[in-house]
Amino acid sequence: MNAVMLRALPVQDPPRLVLFGQGRAVGVIGGLPDGSTQLFSYPFYREVQWKNEVFSGVAAMESLPNSVSAMVNRASDAERVEVRLVSGTYFSVLGVNPVLGRTFTDADDQTPGGHPVAVASYSWWRRRFGGDPSVAGRTLTIGSVVYTIIGIAPPEFFGTAVGESPDLWIPLAMIAQVPPGWSGDKGLQDKLFQSVYIMARLRPGVSAERAGAHLNNSRNTAAIRRSSESPRTPNTKTFKRNRRRQCIIPTRNISVIWAISRSVFPAIFAASCPKSGAPSAK
């Protein structure tokens, strides 16, 4: 890795951050997970957040960015902005603090379509508003929804995806409202609609290996439950074969996230799963 890739971002204790899976897939994966799992469902993110013993915080990010047209402050001309949909815990888990206003809380990500708020990047704020310190409370319209800018990210923070620098971050609960809105509320409710990356912060004293073992067990339990709930899942025999290849955070060969030392979510935010023979999602 070169020096540019290793420049530090304003996050707290990077070695305590881990990514589930390899973080290389984008889009949507359906059906039960196996050893090639790289994307996860929003319900699974919530399950891990609420029912785990190894993480002090868990966050999610939609794997595909949204390039949308926005009308800023009721301007007559639309402009193109790059949006990333993230969980309400995204900034707090990373330890990224705003230079103005506030970032999201979990309450901003609880009600589908209920919190049209946005955090703006430092560069977009400077470019679009000239660094106006009174920007909090300004609005922009995306589709038919008016969003309120609540805060500005620090200048060193460019996001957590390779080669991208979002203009805005919006809560995942707004997924149906942000064009193209292609998944609707399915993206929040369907346990087999796997489209997000999940990252987490290890609790003090918890190793990546212990977290991997805990999550592998949780994932297999959740998958067994889904296999009995969904008519689209493989039969029990098939599932048992896949179950042996299951990998969330690998208990071996895990890359703890020095990663965040640049804007590299897939590349360095990567925990390599053992090879399973299953093709990777694209």
More confident residue, 273 or 22: 22
Mean pLDDT of 223-248: 39
Band of residue 117 on the pLDDT scale cut at 50, 70, 90: very high
Distance CA 139, CA 40 (A): 32
Does residue 180 have a cis bond before it (omega within 30 degrees)?
Answer: yes
Smallest CA-to-CA distance from 21 within 281, 261, 198, 193 is with 198
Highest mean pLDDT among 37-41, 73-77, 225-229, 275-279: 37-41
Mean pLDDT of 186-200: 85
Mean pLDDT of 213-234: 57
Query: Looking at the predicted structure, is the pLDDT value of residue 252 above 90?
Result: no
Are residues 53 and 22 in contact, defined by beta-carbon separation less than 8 angstroms? Answer: no
Helices 208-229 and 42-50, axial angle in degrees (round to 10): 130
Claim: this prediction has a pTM higher than 0.85: no
Band of residue 110 on the pLDDT scale cut at 50, 70, 90: very high
Band of residue 244 on the pLDDT scale cut at 50, 70, 90: very low
Query: Looking at the predicted structure, is the pLDDT value of residue 113 above 80?
Result: yes
Which of 12-21, 139-148, 217-226, 241-250 bottoms out in mean pLDDT, i.e. has the lowest?
Answer: 241-250
Question: Where are the alpha helices (H) located in 143-235, listed in sequence order?
Answer: 186-189, 208-229
Distance CA 152, CA 114 (A): 21
Share of the chain above pLDDT 90, in %: 42
State the pLDDT at residue 135: 95
Smallest CA-to-CA distance from 200 within 8, 13, 20, 9 is with 20
Sign of CA dihedral 119, 2, 256, 30: positive
More confident residue, 48 or 270: 48
Are residues 238 and 56 in contact, defined by beta-carbon separation less than 8 angstroms? Answer: no
